[in-house]
Amino acid sequence: MDGKWRAAASGATRDILDPADATVLAVVSEGGAEDADAAIAAARMAFDEGPWPRTPVAERAGLLRTTADLLIRNREKIALLESRDSGKTLEEGRVDVDCVADAFRYFADLVMNESGGRVVDAGSDTVHSVVVHEPVGVCALITPWNYPLLQASWKIAPALAAGNTFVVKPSELTPLSTIDLIDLLAEAGLPPGVANLVTGAGDPVGARMSEHPDVDLVSFTGGLSSGTQVMRAAAPGVKKVALELGGKNPNVVFADACATDEGFDTAVDQALNAAFIHSGQVCSAGARLIIEESVRERFVGELARRAARIRLGRGTEQDVECGPLVSARQLAKTEEYVASALAEGAVLRSGGKRPEPSDVRPAEGYFYEPTVLDQCHRGMRVVREEVFGPVLTVETFRTEDEAVALANDTEYGLAGGVWSADPGRARRVAGRLRHGTVWINDFHPYLPQAEWGGFGKSGIGRELGPAGLAEYREAKHIYQNLAPRPVRWFTG
């Protein structure tokens, strides 16, 4: 904080574990409410009295581009750190670093294009009217454990582009890559106090950040329960709040998508990718396969066969396709959801257990086999609730209307997929889905220039795109009368 690393006020520390073998990867300070207060005070001072909010837009954009260059220069180091910290494969870590650099470059370009203000026609030659955008102030940024660096960048890049200062609290499970990012920002030339980081648990650190009177905006990505607590804590201060709270995402496959061998192979392959990338620990995971009944048996049979062949192991090992779950708690949660589904009548088609240990899969690691559960229905918890593990449920439909009804039968609304060889049907169904992102004949790609966020309980506000920058700015209307004269409204 304030440009310097320091120990927690209490002196407490936390072991950061490698989820592949449960060994200690690093030791970090375990911050508390006092540390959150100090970091917020530094951010407040930097915003009120420091240069960053008043730095010309071109200079702010330049620093973001320099940060992107530094990220790419340190790509292998950061990817390895992300892989060991979160369990994802090394290649996924590399892709994450590339996407983080893209986000910094995108917001650098966007803020340059939107820096001039918007002239408003007042209908008079003697009035100059313009809407300008100013930084919100001090931002509290709370990020999740599944994509630590990526999710941090989606908040930090627009916050800095807009001229804000911030305090970021990464997940207590996976803080290491965000710590590296703060160092890179300093190397790029960011003034002290603009970027502050506190490691520690959601309670007390995140809770204090959410309620603190000197925080102007809270941006949180995580679970629904924690998100509602953030809203509750922020409400008395009437802070701006942005929330991304996950989803229970449908992947709808029509029979016509499988009419050819190539179409069938692609749809099955993409269903695997939708459900099991990063061992299902993805907010947009296509964890609900909704398949037309006429092709269900063939499709699910092949899907289960391929799922059983996914190579599990330490993410840094060559040829490994899925790493471990992030923690013992997440492993136990996944096991409990599968047991519940089987008790409620689901049919296990593949997985459903921990794998046998091997040289690349230590017994102490938090591994779980990719699991396909057939004959599922809305009454099951595993269909309604976000598992955040490698678990795919299968539901069937006969008509287009039934497919749409099933896909929308969720309290979430983050993302979904539609597979059809009929472009008209695909666009029609996509238009009826109540989800923030809908992929047609694809799953998971996102663009930094397109908004990301959800309907319903998937959250409030948007990240990325122009709306992602707008979250971190306040609009101000400046109305200038160039020829003032008396109004004569009052006659006295």
Side by side, the strands of the sheet bearing 118-119 are 118-119, 127-135, 473-481
CB 214 within 8 A of CB 44: yes
CB 341 within 8 A of CB 376: yes
Mean pLDDT of 96-107: 99
Distance of CA 6 to the CA centre of its chain: 28
Q: Three-state SS for 32?
A: coil
Domains of the chain: 13-245+462-478 (3.40.605.10), 250-440 (3.40.309.10)
CB 9 within 8 A of CB 37: no
CB 377 within 8 A of CB 346: no
25, exposed or middle or buried, with CB in 10 Å at 0-12, 13-18, 19+? middle
Mean pLDDT of 43-50: 99
Active site residue 244: yes
DSSP 8-state symbol, 256: G
Average pLDDT value for the chain: 97
User: pLDDT digits over 230-260, tens only?
Assistant: 999 999 999 999 999 989 999 999 999 999 9
Position 65 confidence tier, pLDDT thresholds 50, 70, 90: very high
Would you state the pLDDT for residue 135?
A: 98
212, exposed or middle or buried, with CB in 10 Å at 0-12, 13-18, 19+? buried
pLDDT higher than threshold 80 for residue 492? no
Q: Three-state SS for 419?
A: strand
Q: Which of 92, 244, 302, 395 is catalytic?
A: 244
- The secondary structure element, H or E, covering residue 379 is none
Task: For Cα atoms 460, 463, 468, give the angle at the middle one, nearest 5 degrees.
Answer: 105
pLDDT higher than threshold 80 for residue 325? yes
Distance of CA 187 to the CA centre of its chain: 25
Distance between CA atoms of residues 404 and 385, nearest Å:
19
User: pLDDT digits over 81-92, tens only?
Assistant: 999 999 999 999
Would you state the pLDDT for residue 114?
A: 82
CB 102 within 8 A of CB 150: no
Q: Three-state SS for 349?
A: strand
User: pLDDT digits over 2-16, tens only?
Assistant: 999 999 999 999 999
